[in-house]
Amino acid sequence: MLRFNIDAWNAYAPDLESRDAWQAWLASPFTPDGPVKPAVMKTVPAMLRRRFTPLGKVAMGAALPLLSDTDSVASVFASRHGDTPLTLELLQGIGQADPMSPTAFSLAVHNAVGGLYSIACKDKSAINAIAASEGLVVQALLEAVCQLQVHRRVLCVIYDVVLPELYQPYSQGPDFPHALALMISRDGDNGFVLQQRPGVTDAVESGQDIPDMIALLCGNADRLSCSVRGAHWLLNRVTR
Protein backbone atom coordinates (compact mmCIF):
# COMPACT_ATOMS: atom_id res chain seq x y z
CA MET A 1 0.00 0.00 0.00
CA LEU A 2 1.41 3.37 -1.07
CA ARG A 3 0.18 6.63 0.40
CA PHE A 4 0.84 10.03 -1.14
CA ASN A 5 -0.68 13.47 -1.50
CA ILE A 6 -1.68 15.35 -4.63
CA ASP A 7 -0.92 18.99 -3.83
CA ALA A 8 -2.19 20.32 -7.16
CA TRP A 9 -3.24 19.10 -10.58
CA ASN A 10 -3.98 20.44 -14.04
CA ALA A 11 -5.21 18.84 -17.25
CA TYR A 12 -5.09 19.90 -20.88
CA ALA A 13 -6.76 18.91 -24.13
CA PRO A 14 -7.81 21.01 -27.13
CA ASP A 15 -10.66 23.29 -25.94
CA LEU A 16 -10.32 21.88 -22.40
CA GLU A 17 -7.95 24.12 -20.44
CA SER A 18 -9.80 24.66 -17.15
CA ARG A 19 -11.35 22.52 -14.43
CA ASP A 20 -14.79 23.88 -15.27
CA ALA A 21 -14.29 22.80 -18.88
CA TRP A 22 -13.26 19.31 -17.75
CA GLN A 23 -16.25 19.09 -15.39
CA ALA A 24 -18.55 19.95 -18.29
CA TRP A 25 -16.79 17.36 -20.47
CA LEU A 26 -17.20 14.66 -17.81
CA ALA A 27 -20.92 15.42 -17.66
CA SER A 28 -21.25 15.32 -21.45
CA PRO A 29 -18.19 13.79 -23.16
CA PHE A 30 -17.30 14.67 -26.73
CA THR A 31 -14.21 14.31 -28.91
CA PRO A 32 -12.32 17.62 -29.02
CA ASP A 33 -11.04 18.28 -32.52
CA GLY A 34 -9.40 21.68 -32.12
CA PRO A 35 -5.69 22.38 -32.65
CA VAL A 36 -3.17 21.52 -29.95
CA LYS A 37 -2.29 25.09 -28.92
CA PRO A 38 -2.06 25.46 -25.14
CA ALA A 39 -2.22 29.11 -24.15
CA VAL A 40 0.75 28.66 -21.77
CA MET A 41 3.04 27.73 -24.68
CA LYS A 42 3.24 31.46 -25.43
CA THR A 43 5.59 31.72 -22.44
CA VAL A 44 8.10 29.44 -24.19
CA PRO A 45 10.59 31.24 -26.47
CA ALA A 46 9.56 30.95 -30.12
CA MET A 47 12.74 29.20 -31.25
CA LEU A 48 12.23 26.48 -28.62
CA ARG A 49 8.46 26.35 -29.06
CA ARG A 50 8.88 25.19 -32.65
CA ARG A 51 10.62 22.03 -31.44
CA PHE A 52 7.54 20.80 -29.58
CA THR A 53 5.40 18.24 -31.41
CA PRO A 54 1.72 17.86 -30.42
CA LEU A 55 2.76 15.25 -27.82
CA GLY A 56 5.09 17.72 -26.14
CA LYS A 57 2.57 20.55 -26.36
CA VAL A 58 -0.15 18.64 -24.51
CA ALA A 59 2.36 17.71 -21.79
CA MET A 60 3.46 21.32 -21.39
CA GLY A 61 -0.13 22.52 -21.48
CA ALA A 62 -0.81 20.46 -18.38
CA ALA A 63 2.50 20.97 -16.56
CA LEU A 64 3.42 24.64 -16.94
CA PRO A 65 0.47 26.08 -14.94
CA LEU A 66 1.62 24.07 -11.89
CA LEU A 67 5.08 25.62 -11.85
CA SER A 68 4.35 29.25 -10.97
CA ASP A 69 5.54 28.82 -7.38
CA THR A 70 8.57 26.60 -7.94
CA ASP A 71 11.92 26.96 -9.69
CA SER A 72 13.05 23.36 -9.41
CA VAL A 73 11.26 20.05 -8.98
CA ALA A 74 12.06 16.42 -9.82
CA SER A 75 9.73 15.06 -12.48
CA VAL A 76 8.35 11.93 -14.11
CA PHE A 77 7.13 12.06 -17.72
CA ALA A 78 4.98 9.13 -18.80
CA SER A 79 3.20 8.21 -22.01
CA ARG A 80 1.92 4.93 -23.36
CA HIS A 81 4.05 4.63 -26.50
CA GLY A 82 5.78 7.99 -26.89
CA ASP A 83 5.61 10.10 -30.04
CA THR A 84 4.17 7.46 -32.37
CA PRO A 85 3.19 9.90 -35.16
CA LEU A 86 6.74 11.27 -35.40
CA THR A 87 8.31 7.82 -35.05
CA LEU A 88 6.14 6.45 -37.86
CA GLU A 89 7.08 9.41 -40.05
CA LEU A 90 10.78 8.65 -39.50
CA LEU A 91 10.27 4.94 -40.26
CA GLN A 92 8.43 5.73 -43.46
CA GLY A 93 11.31 8.00 -44.45
CA ILE A 94 13.79 5.18 -43.84
CA GLY A 95 11.65 2.89 -46.00
CA GLN A 96 11.84 5.42 -48.82
CA ALA A 97 15.61 5.86 -48.36
CA ASP A 98 15.17 9.51 -47.37
CA PRO A 99 17.91 11.14 -45.26
CA MET A 100 16.88 11.30 -41.61
CA SER A 101 16.67 14.67 -39.92
CA PRO A 102 18.86 14.69 -36.78
CA THR A 103 16.45 17.14 -35.19
CA ALA A 104 13.42 14.94 -35.88
CA PHE A 105 15.28 11.91 -34.55
CA SER A 106 16.22 13.74 -31.33
CA LEU A 107 12.58 14.69 -30.80
CA ALA A 108 11.36 11.11 -31.31
CA VAL A 109 13.25 9.58 -28.39
CA HIS A 110 11.13 8.87 -25.33
CA ASN A 111 12.76 11.41 -23.03
CA ALA A 112 12.56 14.27 -25.56
CA VAL A 113 9.53 15.90 -23.91
CA GLY A 114 11.19 15.93 -20.51
CA GLY A 115 14.37 17.32 -22.03
CA LEU A 116 12.54 20.17 -23.77
CA TYR A 117 10.64 20.87 -20.55
CA SER A 118 13.91 21.17 -18.60
CA ILE A 119 15.29 23.62 -21.19
CA ALA A 120 12.10 25.71 -21.26
CA CYS A 121 11.95 25.90 -17.45
CA LYS A 122 15.73 26.07 -16.93
CA ASP A 123 15.32 23.24 -14.43
CA LYS A 124 18.26 20.87 -13.88
CA SER A 125 16.36 18.56 -11.50
CA ALA A 126 16.16 14.80 -12.04
CA ILE A 127 13.81 13.68 -14.82
CA ASN A 128 12.57 10.14 -15.44
CA ALA A 129 10.76 9.16 -18.64
CA ILE A 130 8.75 5.94 -18.73
CA ALA A 131 6.72 4.07 -21.35
CA ALA A 132 3.68 2.30 -19.93
CA SER A 133 1.81 0.26 -22.50
CA GLU A 134 -0.67 -0.84 -19.79
CA GLY A 135 -2.05 1.05 -16.82
CA LEU A 136 -0.53 4.37 -17.83
CA VAL A 137 -1.67 6.39 -14.79
CA VAL A 138 -0.88 3.67 -12.25
CA GLN A 139 2.60 3.02 -13.60
CA ALA A 140 3.36 6.75 -13.71
CA LEU A 141 2.22 7.12 -10.10
CA LEU A 142 4.31 4.13 -9.00
CA GLU A 143 7.41 5.77 -10.44
CA ALA A 144 6.56 9.17 -8.95
CA VAL A 145 5.90 7.76 -5.48
CA CYS A 146 9.23 5.91 -5.61
CA GLN A 147 10.90 9.23 -6.40
CA LEU A 148 9.37 10.68 -3.22
CA GLN A 149 11.83 8.57 -1.27
CA VAL A 150 14.56 11.03 -2.28
CA HIS A 151 12.63 14.16 -3.26
CA ARG A 152 10.21 16.30 -1.25
CA ARG A 153 7.90 16.83 -4.21
CA VAL A 154 7.62 15.27 -7.65
CA LEU A 155 5.92 16.58 -10.76
CA CYS A 156 4.18 13.69 -12.56
CA VAL A 157 3.15 14.44 -16.16
CA ILE A 158 1.03 11.82 -17.95
CA TYR A 159 0.21 12.41 -21.60
CA ASP A 160 -0.90 10.70 -24.78
CA VAL A 161 -1.93 11.40 -28.37
CA VAL A 162 -4.06 9.52 -30.86
CA LEU A 163 -2.29 6.53 -32.40
CA PRO A 164 -1.64 6.66 -36.15
CA GLU A 165 -4.24 4.62 -38.07
CA LEU A 166 -1.62 2.00 -38.93
CA TYR A 167 -1.25 1.04 -35.25
CA GLN A 168 -4.86 1.26 -34.14
CA PRO A 169 -5.77 -2.41 -34.88
CA TYR A 170 -2.99 -3.52 -32.53
CA SER A 171 -3.28 -1.26 -29.50
CA GLN A 172 -5.84 0.84 -27.65
CA GLY A 173 -5.25 4.57 -27.57
CA PRO A 174 -7.03 7.78 -26.63
CA ASP A 175 -9.64 9.42 -28.83
CA PHE A 176 -7.96 12.83 -28.60
CA PRO A 177 -4.63 14.25 -27.37
CA HIS A 178 -4.61 15.07 -23.67
CA ALA A 179 -2.38 15.33 -20.62
CA LEU A 180 -2.58 15.42 -16.85
CA ALA A 181 0.01 16.94 -14.50
CA LEU A 182 0.12 16.15 -10.77
CA MET A 183 2.27 17.74 -8.08
CA ILE A 184 2.84 14.91 -5.61
CA SER A 185 4.22 14.97 -2.07
CA ARG A 186 4.38 12.57 0.86
CA ASP A 187 1.79 14.18 3.14
CA GLY A 188 -1.06 16.64 2.90
CA ASP A 189 -4.81 17.16 2.93
CA ASN A 190 -5.55 15.51 -0.42
CA GLY A 191 -4.31 11.99 0.23
CA PHE A 192 -4.55 8.92 -1.97
CA VAL A 193 -3.81 5.23 -1.53
CA LEU A 194 -2.51 3.03 -4.33
CA GLN A 195 -2.60 -0.69 -3.66
CA GLN A 196 -2.36 -3.98 -5.46
CA ARG A 197 -5.26 -6.34 -4.84
CA PRO A 198 -5.32 -10.12 -5.34
CA GLY A 199 -7.80 -11.69 -7.69
CA VAL A 200 -8.85 -11.11 -11.25
CA THR A 201 -9.92 -7.63 -12.23
CA ASP A 202 -12.63 -6.76 -14.71
CA ALA A 203 -10.75 -3.60 -15.66
CA VAL A 204 -10.12 -3.42 -19.40
CA GLU A 205 -7.30 -1.51 -21.04
CA SER A 206 -9.14 1.22 -22.91
CA GLY A 207 -6.68 4.05 -23.41
CA GLN A 208 -8.87 6.21 -21.17
CA ASP A 209 -6.67 6.18 -18.06
CA ILE A 210 -6.18 9.96 -18.01
CA PRO A 211 -9.90 10.90 -18.28
CA ASP A 212 -10.65 8.27 -15.60
CA MET A 213 -8.07 9.89 -13.30
CA ILE A 214 -9.50 13.35 -13.98
CA ALA A 215 -12.94 12.01 -13.01
CA LEU A 216 -11.47 10.79 -9.70
CA LEU A 217 -9.80 14.14 -9.04
CA CYS A 218 -13.01 16.02 -9.83
CA GLY A 219 -15.05 13.82 -7.50
CA ASN A 220 -17.00 12.20 -10.34
CA ALA A 221 -15.61 8.75 -9.49
CA ASP A 222 -14.69 7.09 -6.20
CA ARG A 223 -11.71 5.06 -7.45
CA LEU A 224 -9.52 4.17 -10.39
CA SER A 225 -9.10 0.50 -11.21
CA CYS A 226 -6.84 -1.10 -13.79
CA SER A 227 -4.94 -4.25 -14.70
CA VAL A 228 -1.18 -4.21 -15.35
CA ARG A 229 0.11 -7.52 -16.69
CA GLY A 230 -2.47 -9.45 -14.69
CA ALA A 231 -2.03 -7.44 -11.46
CA HIS A 232 -5.10 -5.64 -10.12
CA TRP A 233 -4.47 -2.07 -8.93
CA LEU A 234 -6.81 0.27 -7.08
CA LEU A 235 -6.37 3.99 -6.43
CA ASN A 236 -8.62 5.55 -3.79
CA ARG A 237 -8.81 8.80 -1.88
CA VAL A 238 -7.81 8.55 1.76
CA THR A 239 -10.91 8.55 3.95
CA ARG A 240 -10.62 10.44 7.22
Cβ–Cβ < 8 Å for 126, 101: no
Asked, for residue 125, whether it belongs to a domain, the answer is yes
Asked, for residue 105, whether it belongs to a domain, the answer is yes
What pLDDT does 120 receive? 93
Asked, for residue 145, whether it belongs to a domain, the answer is yes
Asked, for residue 238, whether it belongs to a domain, the answer is no
CATH code for the domain in which residue 80 is found: 3.40.47.10
Asked, for residue 108, whether it belongs to a domain, the answer is yes
Asked, for residue 235, whether it belongs to a domain, the answer is no
In whole angstroms, what separates CA 105 from the centre of its chain? Answer: 21
Can you give the residue range of the structural domain that contains 71? 2-189
Please give the helix or strand (H or E) that residue 49 lies within, else none.
Answer: helix 46-49
**DSSP 3-state assignment of 236?**
strand
The rounded average pLDDT for each run of 10 residues, N- to C-terminus, in the chain (240 residues) is 94 94 95 93 93 96 90 93 92 91 90 94 94 89 94 96 91 91 92 82 64 94 85 84
- Using only C-alpha atoms, the chain has a radius of gyration, in whole angstroms, of 18
Q: For residue 149, what are the contacts with CB-CB under 8 A and spacing of at least 6?
A: none
Angle at alpha carbon of residue 2, lines to 160 and 136, rounded to 5°:
15
- pTM of the predicted model, to two decimals? 0.93
Asked, for residue 40, whether it belongs to a domain, the answer is yes
What pLDDT does 230 receive? 77
Instruction: For the chain, report the end-to-end CA distance as a whole number of angstroms.
Output: 17
Domains in the chain, number: 1
Distance, CA of 139 to CA of 133 (rounded, Å): 9
